[in-house]
Amino acid sequence: MTSETSDRTVLTGISSRAWEHPADRGALVALRKLRGFDTVVKRLSSFITERAVRLMLLGSAIRVDSRQFSRLFRIYTEAATVLDVEQVPELYVAANPFLNAQTVGLDKPVIVMNSSLLDALDDDELRFVLGHELGHVGSGHAVYRTVLLLLTTLSTTLLSIPLGGLGLRAILAALWEWARKSELSGDRAGLLACQDPAAALRVHMKLASGGDTSQLDPDAFLEQAVAYHEDEDIRDLLLRALVVETMTHPFAVARAGELRRWVSSGEYALVVAGSYPRREDDAKADLSAETVAAAASYGDQFAKAEQTIDRFFKDLTDGLGSMGSRVTGLFRPPARDGRPHDPEDPATPSW
């Protein structure tokens, strides 16, 4: 059953399967089939102190509620209502000039938005970004995204360990491949939260342009997305694969094109009209043929990493001396020179 809140339809009981892109689910299925990967995740999780992360956020960022960033809190509450979120995560605003947001955590994920978003985005655009992050939470992406963030943070240390870099690169390659696909699911959840395709497109345009869309044209932007994908020349196919190999997110232009294809397929309209899978049926749901095919494809790519996982975990255990300080350091405010402490490229968004 659906109901109305303002101009948006509340998607009561909606399952994350409604917004999960087949490539995202396929990559995750294949990733979990890597021999020993779940063991690595569990062991890494034991080193992560969520309490320390939360304390760092409480001490350095602003926890959003009805008294602090009330506009954002209202929009966040509306987005959570539309997606029928059962347990709404804590939301924080961190002082940072880059257009960025991220979801981190294991048992209790939190969403962190950079302060620059509040000035750059209107209400519907913020609703898209918040819905995107809530989609990550609903799909259970936070655990793997946190592991990826920590492995990236540790990469410099582990690459100095003999033979450690080989295993690290193998696991990071698999996680990066999945992470890029998970963003497509997040975008679908964001669109379902805001239910305004034009607002979703504007976010991708602002992301690609740095925030100023006054001289951009939506039709030309989407034509650019088509041009990015349409050339089947083998050289371009290889170049596209090489360009994104170490990126945690697809290009903003490509994401806009992918989301528009979902809208054009009619699937988005069906979900808003009430035709979507329910959480109550998740336990008996089967993977679609499309997802199985995607998993098989990614499985071939990930198979090359299996032989290195055991060696990597041994190297990882030997190189975790300063893990705690690195984890909490992820959420420190920018230094006096204005540069963020984020170990990843700050120009790369998490939404």
Cα 289 to the chain's mean position, in Å?
Answer: 24
Cα 167 to the chain's mean position, in Å?
Answer: 23
pLDDT at 162 exceeding the cut of 50: no
Catalytic residue (one of 78, 125, 133, 183): 133
What's at 144, amino acid-wise?
Y
The single residue listed with the structure tokens 């997802």 is 291
pLDDT tens track for 35-46: 667 766 777 776
pLDDT tens track for 219-277: 999 999 988 877 655 455 555 555 555 566 778 999 999 999 999 999 999 999 999 99
Q: How far apart are CA 136 and CA 26, in angstroms?
A: 16
pLDDT at 320 exceeding the cut of 60: no
Q: 305: closest CA among 27, 44, 3?
A: 27
What is the pTM for the complete model shown? Answer: 0.80
pLDDT tens track for 105-137: 878 899 999 999 999 999 999 999 999 999 999
Q: Provide the pLDDT for residue 232.
A: 56
pLDDT at 344 exceeding the cut of 90: no
SS3 label, residue 60 = helix
- Long-range interactions of 68-73: CB distance < 8 A, separation 24+: 69/93, 69/118, 71/118, 71/123, 72/113, 72/118, 72/126
Annotated active-site residue 133? The verdict is: yes
Q: 180: closest CA among 1, 325, 28?
A: 28
The proportion of the chain whose per-residue pLDDT surpasses 70, expressed as a percent, equals 68
Q: Provide the pLDDT for residue 231.
A: 60
Per-domain boundaries in the chain: 8-320
Q: Provide the pLDDT for residue 72.
A: 98
Q: Provide the pLDDT for residue 179.
A: 87
pLDDT tens track for 2-32: 555 568 999 999 999 999 998 888 888 777 7
pLDDT tens track for 193-209: 999 999 999 999 999 99
Q: How far apart are CA 312 and CA 155, in angstroms?
A: 12
Q: Where are the alpha helices (DSSP H) in the chain?
A: 22-32, 37-47, 50-60, 70-82, 116-120, 123-138, 141-159, 164-194, 197-209, 218-230, 234-244, 252-264, 267-272, 289-302, 306-318, 323-329
pLDDT at 160 exceeding the cut of 60: no
- Pick 164 or 212 by higher pLDDT: 212
The single residue listed with the structure tokens 């120009």 is 347
pLDDT at 50 exceeding the cut of 90: no
Q: 308: closest CA among 36, 73, 91?
A: 36
